[in-house]
Chain A
Amino acid sequence: MNKLIELKGITKSYDGETVLNHINLDIHDHEFVTLLGPSGCGKTTTLRIIGGFVTPDEGDVIFDGARINDLPPYKRHVNTVFQKYALFPHLNVYENIAFALRLARLPEAEISRRVKEMLALVALSGFEKKNVNLLSGGQQQRVAIARALINKPRVLLLDEPLGALDLKLRKDMQNELKKIQTQTGITFIYVTHDQEEALSMSDTVVVMQNGVIQQIGTPTDIYNEPVNAFVADFIGESNIVDGVMLEDKLVSFSGHTFPCLDSGFGKNQPVDVVVRPEDVDVVSPEKGMLRGIVSSVTFKGVHYEIIVDIGGFKWMIQTTDYVAPEAEIGLYIEPDAIHVMNKSEFSGQFGDYSSFSDEMDNISDPDATEEE
């Protein structure tokens, strides 16, 4: 696959506040790339730079080998599905989708044919004359996709396109978007703060925080081998503890030495250790590698989610077997369940579940996750 878009050393700041700090990113043809991160991480700005709505302070935007920093949006072979869609309220469904073709002054017959084709692609045939303001969120979403795709762009940019939809609809649209991407073969660059969305749809996930790319990789890589505490915490649930790499394939944390699969660290190097909650086995105290007191148990349907206090550090563990609160239990961790990472600026900020309920509160607050 050849490189379609290259971002080279992109820096952007607003009012002295750096939003993007030397971003380097290659995007290949036919790829589904997701920019993932919490609000304010710079993902939307990156997207808008590719779309041509923001000019970077430094660095180059290369499209198909040519520098396009100063090319206005209307001359780029890139189209956007906007946050909250930005459908033109004065035009009906048909005219919204036909907008770009009308500008190109195509013959009416061709416009009509292509709009119908697009409506079929997004499963909205028969909606031509509908008023866009009266459509449901999901329908508006489809019109926005059709409108952006009709010009046959090389790249489609999607800015939190599912953010305004409810959970059930979001799942359906995820599948549909993926299907449309495979069908058309267009490169998708997708911005979201929803890690599950990112993992399930993308070929490549780009995790961003503080205007810096933290990690680029396939969804499996990102999940199984996060490079630092931020990525580990942002993608899925993780227990992140301080550890020391004694030697290759041997790490010590929480007062116990564990065999692991990681190597290449220095002798006695301090590291961050990630253990996913579902990778820990609950055993009797005497069989456990670690011992702890259960401080809370929550039934989640498929499994129980328990918080265990191990020497003052709270671990989250998912298990299918019931344990009683206040009980002492043992934990057994397989070598392949342990992932060792270098220390980073994020060390110590994430991965402790002492303030767990507080965090849940935050996640359920919809405003807190809104970009801009």
Chain B
Amino acid sequence: MKLLSRLYMVLIFVFLYAPLLIMVLFSFNEANSLSNFTGFSLRWYEELFQSEEVLDVLSNTLILALLSAAIATVVGTAAAVGIEKMRTRWLKTAVNTVSNMPMMNPDIVTGISMALLFAFAMKLFHMESIFGFWTVLIAHVTFNLPYVILSVVPKIRQMDRFLPEAALDLGCTPMQSFFKVELPAILPGVLSGFVMALTLSLDDFVISYFNTDGDFQTLPIYIFGMTKRTVTPDIYSLSTLLFAGVLLLLILSNLMQSHAERKEQRIAAAKRRARSGRRG
């Protein structure tokens, strides 16, 4: 039984990883082929970094991801604090339902609904074109927001609810109490929300696709364009790089998390020791 379950797990992981391994492998292919591996070379990576277009797209993507994640983190954290404080039940439910919509709706519906809004605005103000960086940024902030809120809210609930009162009691203004006491307490949630937003933004294709014009391209959109033409291995080297970047982010946030957990464990252990010390 044990052997069988091991075998099954291995098979599923092979299924999940085979395409990725093939992609990484062929990104180092010498020949211009995605099916015959002729030899190892960095040729496609070099070509990638010589292409101004690619570098342009790369910087677009990074700026977009950082900016949208930052805005979503600030707005979302504030929102989480505010929502948790709301006493009007229906309002709270309404706000939560609405902000979760981009998460529940298929990407294509979210993307198209925003495109329609922008198209209408364009028509209304007789603009030449509205689509580009700003529309994509707005779209990214919108779909990042619920994820930030979702990772901050649990931390607010976990926080000792007397902490802010203690701060106020000791002379903090509400603002000071937030920045000096509450923010440090919920920081892990805020940071993981930021990282989540960053990765989602880097990865998004569908929503960006419907909300941009030909001039502003992100990496996924660029890749989509490439897969429509004859494909060369440079698309794989680009994806490998992208994947490596996201991997790095994930490892980083994981390290952060396990660091925080170890700290908690140490505290718990110290508490246990203190207790057993008193017993004996």
Contacts and interface: CB of A to CB of B under 8 A. Distances in A.
Task: Note whether A and B contact each other (Cβ less than 8 A).
Answer: yes
Interface of A: 38, 349, 358, 361-362, 365, 367-368
Contacts, number: 11
Interface in B130-153: none
B275 A358 contact: no
A358 B279 CA distance: 9
Contacts of A361: 278
A350 to B, nearest CB: 11
A367 B276 CA distance: 11
A368 B280 CA distance: 12
* Top 9 A-B residue pairs of the complex, sorted by shortest distance between their CB atoms: A368-B275, A362-B278, A362-B279, A358-B278, A368-B279, A365-B275, A367-B275, A361-B278, A362-B275
Nearest to B275: A368
Given A38-B279, A362-B275, A362-B279, 8 more contacts: A349-B280, A358-B278, A361-B278, A362-B278, A365-B275, A367-B275, A368-B275, A368-B279
Interface residues of B, number: 4
Contacts of A367: 275
Interface in B44-83: none
A9 B16 CA distance: 50
Nearest to A367: B275
Interface in B13-50: none
Contacts of B275: 362, 365, 367-368
A225 to B, nearest CB: 26
Contacts of A362: 275, 278-279
Nearest to A38: B279
Interface in B114-136: none
11 contacts: A38-B279, A349-B280, A358-B278, A361-B278, A362-B275, A362-B278, A362-B279, A365-B275, A367-B275, A368-B275, A368-B279
Contacts of B279: 38, 362, 368
Nearest to A361: B278
Interface in B265-280: 275, 278-280
Interface string B190-204: 000000000000000
Interface in B221-280: 275, 278-280
A285 to B, nearest CB: 35
A17 to B, nearest CB: 14
Nearest to B276: A368
Contacts of B280: 349
Contacts of A358: 278
A370 to B, nearest CB: 11
A361 B278 CA distance: 9
A121 B279 CA distance: 40
B279 to A, nearest CB: 6
A223 B275 CA distance: 27
Nearest to A358: B278
Nearest to B271: A367
A38 B279 CA distance: 11
Contacts of A38: 279
A365 B275 CA distance: 9
A200 B275 CA distance: 29
Contacts of A365: 275
Nearest to A365: B275
Nearest to A368: B275
B270 to A, nearest CB: 14
B91 to A, nearest CB: 28
A365 B278 CA distance: 11
B123 to A, nearest CB: 54
Contacts of B278: 358, 361-362
A247 B188 CA distance: 70
B276 to A, nearest CB: 8
Nearest to B278: A362
B264 to A, nearest CB: 16
A368 B278 CA distance: 10
A38 B278 CA distance: 14
A362 B275 CA distance: 8
A254 B280 CA distance: 24
Contacts of A349: 280
Contacts of A368: 275, 279
B5 to A, nearest CB: 19
B229 to A, nearest CB: 54
A349 B279 CA distance: 11
Max chain B C-beta neighbours (<10 A), residue from A38, A349, A358, A368? A368
A283 B233 CA distance: 101
Nearest to B279: A362
